[in-house]
Amino acid sequence: MKVKIKSSDVYLRVLSLVIAVIFWLFAKQNVQIPNISERQQYQKVMKKVVFTDIEEGLTVTSEVPEVFLELSGPFWEMTQNQEQIMVVASLKNRRAGRHSIDVSVRVPENVNIIQYYPETIDVRLESLTTKKLELQNLNLGNLPQGRELQNLSITPTEVAVSGPDSLLGTAQSATVTLELRDLSVGEHKLSLPIQIRNASGALLSGLGINPTHAEVRFEVVEKALRTVPVELDFEVESVDLEELEVTVIPKEVSLVGDRQIEAVSSEPFVVSEIPFRGEVKLVVPSGSQIWPETVEVLIAERIPEEEEQ
Protein backbone atom coordinates (compact mmCIF):
# COMPACT_ATOMS: atom_id res chain seq x y z
CA MET A 1 0.00 0.00 0.00
CA LYS A 2 1.38 3.36 -1.00
CA VAL A 3 1.37 6.17 1.56
CA LYS A 4 0.94 9.61 0.18
CA ILE A 5 2.93 12.39 1.93
CA LYS A 6 1.49 15.81 1.62
CA SER A 7 3.84 18.63 0.55
CA SER A 8 2.90 20.59 3.69
CA ASP A 9 4.16 17.66 5.86
CA VAL A 10 7.51 17.69 4.06
CA TYR A 11 7.87 21.40 4.66
CA LEU A 12 7.19 21.02 8.40
CA ARG A 13 9.68 18.15 8.72
CA VAL A 14 12.42 20.13 6.98
CA LEU A 15 11.73 23.20 9.16
CA SER A 16 11.91 21.08 12.32
CA LEU A 17 15.23 19.66 11.19
CA VAL A 18 16.65 23.16 10.53
CA ILE A 19 15.58 24.40 13.98
CA ALA A 20 17.12 21.35 15.61
CA VAL A 21 20.44 21.94 13.81
CA ILE A 22 20.47 25.62 14.88
CA PHE A 23 19.96 24.69 18.55
CA TRP A 24 22.66 22.04 18.24
CA LEU A 25 25.11 24.62 16.89
CA PHE A 26 24.32 27.05 19.71
CA ALA A 27 24.87 24.31 22.27
CA LYS A 28 28.12 23.17 20.66
CA GLN A 29 29.59 26.71 20.61
CA ASN A 30 28.37 27.47 24.13
CA VAL A 31 26.54 30.61 22.96
CA GLN A 32 24.29 32.03 25.64
CA ILE A 33 20.70 32.66 24.68
CA PRO A 34 19.21 35.25 26.99
CA ASN A 35 16.13 34.18 28.89
CA ILE A 36 14.44 37.49 29.59
CA SER A 37 11.25 37.74 31.58
CA GLU A 38 8.46 40.05 30.55
CA ARG A 39 9.43 42.63 33.22
CA GLN A 40 13.05 42.80 32.10
CA GLN A 41 14.73 44.60 29.24
CA TYR A 42 17.43 43.15 27.03
CA GLN A 43 20.05 45.65 25.88
CA LYS A 44 23.20 45.75 23.76
CA VAL A 45 25.51 48.71 24.38
CA MET A 46 29.04 49.87 23.60
CA LYS A 47 31.06 51.43 26.43
CA LYS A 48 34.48 53.06 26.39
CA VAL A 49 36.99 51.62 28.82
CA VAL A 50 37.74 53.66 31.95
CA PHE A 51 41.34 53.31 33.14
CA THR A 52 42.04 53.26 36.89
CA ASP A 53 45.10 53.03 39.14
CA ILE A 54 47.45 54.71 36.64
CA GLU A 55 50.86 55.05 38.23
CA GLU A 56 52.15 58.60 38.79
CA GLY A 57 54.21 59.92 35.91
CA LEU A 58 52.48 57.73 33.30
CA THR A 59 49.66 58.30 30.83
CA VAL A 60 47.70 56.20 28.33
CA THR A 61 48.58 57.13 24.73
CA SER A 62 46.83 54.33 22.87
CA GLU A 63 43.29 54.82 21.58
CA VAL A 64 40.67 54.18 24.26
CA PRO A 65 38.84 51.02 23.12
CA GLU A 66 35.14 50.21 23.38
CA VAL A 67 33.66 47.00 24.78
CA PHE A 68 30.41 45.42 23.58
CA LEU A 69 27.99 44.53 26.40
CA GLU A 70 24.87 42.37 26.48
CA LEU A 71 22.81 43.11 29.57
CA SER A 72 19.41 42.41 31.03
CA GLY A 73 17.53 43.96 33.90
CA PRO A 74 14.59 46.06 34.99
CA PHE A 75 13.59 48.72 32.51
CA TRP A 76 14.15 51.56 34.97
CA GLU A 77 17.63 50.38 35.95
CA MET A 78 18.65 49.93 32.34
CA THR A 79 17.46 53.33 31.10
CA GLN A 80 18.02 55.69 34.04
CA ASN A 81 21.38 54.43 35.34
CA GLN A 82 23.46 54.28 32.19
CA GLU A 83 26.30 56.21 33.86
CA GLN A 84 26.65 53.38 36.38
CA ILE A 85 27.35 50.88 33.62
CA MET A 86 31.14 50.97 33.27
CA VAL A 87 33.93 48.95 31.74
CA VAL A 88 37.05 49.28 33.90
CA ALA A 89 40.70 48.38 33.32
CA SER A 90 43.12 48.62 36.24
CA LEU A 91 46.69 49.70 35.38
CA LYS A 92 48.08 49.20 38.87
CA ASN A 93 51.83 48.43 38.94
CA ARG A 94 52.08 48.79 35.16
CA ARG A 95 55.14 50.57 33.76
CA ALA A 96 55.76 52.38 30.47
CA GLY A 97 55.26 50.10 27.47
CA ARG A 98 52.56 47.92 25.90
CA HIS A 99 50.33 45.73 28.05
CA SER A 100 47.47 43.29 27.65
CA ILE A 101 44.86 44.13 30.32
CA ASP A 102 41.74 42.25 31.45
CA VAL A 103 38.64 44.42 31.75
CA SER A 104 35.80 44.16 34.24
CA VAL A 105 32.21 45.37 33.97
CA ARG A 106 30.39 47.29 36.68
CA VAL A 107 26.60 47.48 36.56
CA PRO A 108 23.82 48.70 38.89
CA GLU A 109 22.15 46.28 41.27
CA ASN A 110 19.60 43.97 39.60
CA VAL A 111 21.26 44.33 36.19
CA ASN A 112 22.68 41.09 34.81
CA ILE A 113 25.73 40.76 32.57
CA ILE A 114 24.96 38.22 29.87
CA GLN A 115 28.30 38.58 28.10
CA TYR A 116 30.88 41.14 26.96
CA TYR A 117 33.79 41.26 24.57
CA PRO A 118 36.63 41.75 24.16
CA GLU A 119 37.58 40.62 27.64
CA THR A 120 41.20 41.74 27.14
CA ILE A 121 42.50 44.98 25.59
CA ASP A 122 45.91 46.29 24.50
CA VAL A 123 47.14 49.44 26.25
CA ARG A 124 50.19 51.63 25.61
CA LEU A 125 51.61 53.60 28.54
CA GLU A 126 54.17 56.39 28.17
CA SER A 127 56.15 58.44 30.64
CA LEU A 128 55.08 62.03 31.25
CA THR A 129 57.82 64.63 30.86
CA THR A 130 57.93 68.43 31.05
CA LYS A 131 59.78 71.10 29.13
CA LYS A 132 59.67 74.89 29.02
CA LEU A 133 58.86 76.98 25.95
CA GLU A 134 59.29 80.71 25.43
CA LEU A 135 55.94 82.47 25.06
CA GLN A 136 55.51 84.32 21.77
CA ASN A 137 52.93 86.72 20.44
CA LEU A 138 51.07 85.84 17.23
CA ASN A 139 49.22 88.82 15.73
CA LEU A 140 46.09 88.16 13.72
CA GLY A 141 44.89 90.77 11.27
CA ASN A 142 45.95 94.43 11.00
CA LEU A 143 45.25 97.46 13.11
CA PRO A 144 42.92 100.07 11.65
CA GLN A 145 44.78 102.44 9.33
CA GLY A 146 46.65 105.17 11.14
CA ARG A 147 47.14 103.22 14.39
CA GLU A 148 50.09 101.33 15.83
CA LEU A 149 50.86 98.97 18.72
CA GLN A 150 53.21 100.13 21.48
CA ASN A 151 54.54 98.90 24.86
CA LEU A 152 53.59 95.25 24.29
CA SER A 153 54.32 92.97 27.26
CA ILE A 154 53.40 89.33 27.90
CA THR A 155 53.39 87.68 31.34
CA PRO A 156 54.76 85.06 31.88
CA THR A 157 57.62 84.94 29.38
CA GLU A 158 57.71 81.11 29.33
CA VAL A 159 55.39 78.18 30.11
CA ALA A 160 55.81 74.60 31.31
CA VAL A 161 54.42 72.03 28.88
CA SER A 162 53.94 68.40 29.95
CA GLY A 163 52.83 65.28 28.12
CA PRO A 164 53.92 61.90 26.75
CA ASP A 165 57.36 61.77 25.17
CA SER A 166 56.04 61.03 21.68
CA LEU A 167 53.81 64.13 21.66
CA LEU A 168 55.96 66.51 23.68
CA GLY A 169 58.82 66.05 21.22
CA THR A 170 56.73 67.74 18.49
CA ALA A 171 55.94 70.84 20.62
CA GLN A 172 58.05 73.72 19.27
CA SER A 173 56.39 76.95 20.37
CA ALA A 174 53.93 78.46 22.85
CA THR A 175 51.84 81.35 21.54
CA VAL A 176 49.04 83.73 22.40
CA THR A 177 46.95 85.04 19.51
CA LEU A 178 46.21 88.75 19.58
CA GLU A 179 43.32 89.87 17.37
CA LEU A 180 44.29 93.33 16.09
CA ARG A 181 41.22 94.20 14.05
CA ASP A 182 38.92 96.85 15.53
CA LEU A 183 41.13 97.61 18.55
CA SER A 184 40.35 101.04 19.93
CA VAL A 185 42.91 103.68 20.84
CA GLY A 186 44.10 103.40 24.43
CA GLU A 187 45.63 100.95 26.92
CA HIS A 188 44.54 97.31 26.83
CA LYS A 189 44.90 94.40 29.25
CA LEU A 190 43.81 90.93 28.04
CA SER A 191 43.91 87.39 29.40
CA LEU A 192 44.57 85.12 26.42
CA PRO A 193 44.74 81.31 26.24
CA ILE A 194 48.17 79.81 25.60
CA GLN A 195 48.41 77.47 22.62
CA ILE A 196 51.11 74.93 21.77
CA ARG A 197 52.20 74.50 18.15
CA ASN A 198 54.45 72.14 16.21
CA ALA A 199 57.21 73.13 13.78
CA SER A 200 54.69 73.82 10.98
CA GLY A 201 52.53 76.03 13.20
CA ALA A 202 49.67 73.53 13.67
CA LEU A 203 47.97 73.44 17.07
CA LEU A 204 48.69 70.48 19.36
CA SER A 205 46.19 69.02 21.82
CA GLY A 206 46.57 66.54 24.66
CA LEU A 207 49.35 68.45 26.44
CA GLY A 208 49.34 70.01 29.89
CA ILE A 209 50.08 73.77 29.95
CA ASN A 210 51.03 75.71 33.08
CA PRO A 211 49.83 78.39 33.26
CA THR A 212 46.98 78.08 30.77
CA HIS A 213 46.55 81.84 30.18
CA ALA A 214 48.87 84.81 29.73
CA GLU A 215 48.34 88.46 30.60
CA VAL A 216 48.94 90.68 27.57
CA ARG A 217 49.31 94.45 28.01
CA PHE A 218 49.72 96.97 25.19
CA GLU A 219 48.72 100.40 23.97
CA VAL A 220 47.12 101.38 20.67
CA VAL A 221 48.03 104.92 19.57
CA GLU A 222 47.36 107.09 16.57
CA LYS A 223 50.39 107.25 14.32
CA ALA A 224 52.03 110.66 14.12
CA LEU A 225 51.87 112.37 10.72
CA ARG A 226 55.19 113.87 9.61
CA THR A 227 57.03 114.79 6.42
CA VAL A 228 60.18 113.14 5.08
CA PRO A 229 62.30 113.95 2.00
CA VAL A 230 62.20 111.97 -1.24
CA GLU A 231 65.39 110.32 -2.49
CA LEU A 232 65.67 109.22 -6.13
CA ASP A 233 67.21 105.91 -7.18
CA PHE A 234 68.08 106.24 -10.89
CA GLU A 235 70.78 105.68 -13.49
CA VAL A 236 71.53 107.88 -16.47
CA GLU A 237 73.44 106.87 -19.60
CA SER A 238 76.60 108.69 -20.86
CA VAL A 239 76.13 111.73 -18.64
CA ASP A 240 77.87 112.69 -15.43
CA LEU A 241 75.31 113.16 -12.63
CA GLU A 242 77.09 116.32 -11.58
CA GLU A 243 76.17 117.85 -14.93
CA LEU A 244 72.47 117.32 -14.34
CA GLU A 245 69.87 119.40 -12.59
CA VAL A 246 67.23 117.27 -10.88
CA THR A 247 63.89 118.58 -9.69
CA VAL A 248 61.39 116.51 -7.62
CA ILE A 249 57.78 117.64 -7.15
CA PRO A 250 57.01 117.42 -4.30
CA LYS A 251 60.37 117.22 -2.53
CA GLU A 252 58.76 115.81 0.64
CA VAL A 253 55.88 113.40 1.32
CA SER A 254 53.65 112.83 4.35
CA LEU A 255 54.39 109.62 6.29
CA VAL A 256 52.52 107.77 9.00
CA GLY A 257 54.45 104.84 10.46
CA ASP A 258 57.88 103.88 11.71
CA ARG A 259 59.48 106.85 13.41
CA GLN A 260 62.96 105.66 12.45
CA ILE A 261 62.28 106.27 8.76
CA GLU A 262 64.17 109.43 7.74
CA ALA A 263 63.50 109.42 3.98
CA VAL A 264 61.44 107.66 1.30
CA SER A 265 63.15 106.25 -1.79
CA SER A 266 61.82 105.97 -5.31
CA GLU A 267 61.64 102.72 -7.21
CA PRO A 268 64.77 102.27 -9.37
CA PHE A 269 64.47 103.74 -12.88
CA VAL A 270 66.77 104.42 -15.85
CA VAL A 271 67.00 107.76 -17.67
CA SER A 272 67.83 107.13 -21.33
CA GLU A 273 67.29 110.64 -22.69
CA ILE A 274 67.98 114.13 -21.40
CA PRO A 275 65.87 116.10 -20.73
CA PHE A 276 63.64 113.69 -18.80
CA ARG A 277 60.21 114.29 -17.38
CA GLY A 278 58.03 111.60 -15.84
CA GLU A 279 56.07 110.25 -12.88
CA VAL A 280 58.01 107.94 -10.56
CA LYS A 281 56.60 105.55 -7.96
CA LEU A 282 57.86 105.64 -4.38
CA VAL A 283 58.67 102.62 -2.21
CA VAL A 284 56.17 102.47 0.67
CA PRO A 285 58.00 101.37 3.86
CA SER A 286 56.64 98.27 5.54
CA GLY A 287 53.96 99.02 8.10
CA SER A 288 53.66 102.64 6.99
CA GLN A 289 51.55 104.81 4.73
CA ILE A 290 52.78 107.70 2.58
CA TRP A 291 51.06 110.42 0.57
CA PRO A 292 51.46 110.89 -2.29
CA GLU A 293 52.88 107.59 -3.51
CA THR A 294 54.28 109.09 -6.73
CA VAL A 295 56.32 112.19 -7.54
CA GLU A 296 57.08 114.11 -10.73
CA VAL A 297 60.75 114.12 -11.73
CA LEU A 298 62.42 116.66 -14.07
CA ILE A 299 66.02 116.02 -15.18
CA ALA A 300 67.94 118.37 -17.48
CA GLU A 301 71.53 119.35 -18.22
CA ARG A 302 72.86 121.94 -15.87
CA ILE A 303 73.40 125.34 -17.57
CA PRO A 304 76.87 126.77 -16.90
CA GLU A 305 76.91 130.06 -14.98
CA GLU A 306 78.65 131.86 -17.89
CA GLU A 307 75.80 130.95 -20.28
CA GLU A 308 73.24 132.16 -17.76
CA GLN A 309 74.90 135.61 -17.73
The DSSP code sequence of 276-288 is EEEEEEBPPPTT-
What's residue 27's pLDDT? 61
Q: How far from chain centre, in Å, is Cα 285?
A: 33
Q: Give all domains of the chain, ordered by start, each with its CATH number.
A: 40-118 (2.170.120.30), 127-222 (2.170.120.40), 225-308 (2.170.120.40)
What's residue 274's pLDDT? 87
What's residue 288's pLDDT? 82
- CA 148/CA 131 separation, integer angstroms: 34
- Reported residue count of the chain is 309
Q: How far from chain centre, in Å, is Cα 297?
A: 51
pLDDT beneath 50, residues of the chain: 1-3, 5, 31, 33, 38, 309
What's residue 11's pLDDT? 65
Residue 222 near residue 277, CB atoms below 8 Å? no
Amino acid letter at 247?
A: T
Summarize pLDDT for 25-50 with one digit per residue, the tens: 656 555 454 555 546 788 899 999 99
User: What are the two backbone dihedrals, phi and then psi, of residue 293, each rounded to the nearest 5 degrees?
Assistant: -100, 0
What is the number of other CB atoms lying within 10 angstroms of the CB of residue 109?
A: 9
Reference 98, options 69, 138, 58, 137; nearest CA is 58
What's residue 93's pLDDT? 93
Q: Which contiguous run of DSSP H or E holds residue 45?
A: strand 40-52
DSSP annotation of 82 reads: G
What is the number of other CB atoms lying within 10 angstroms of the CB of residue 55?
A: 13
What's residue 3's pLDDT? 45
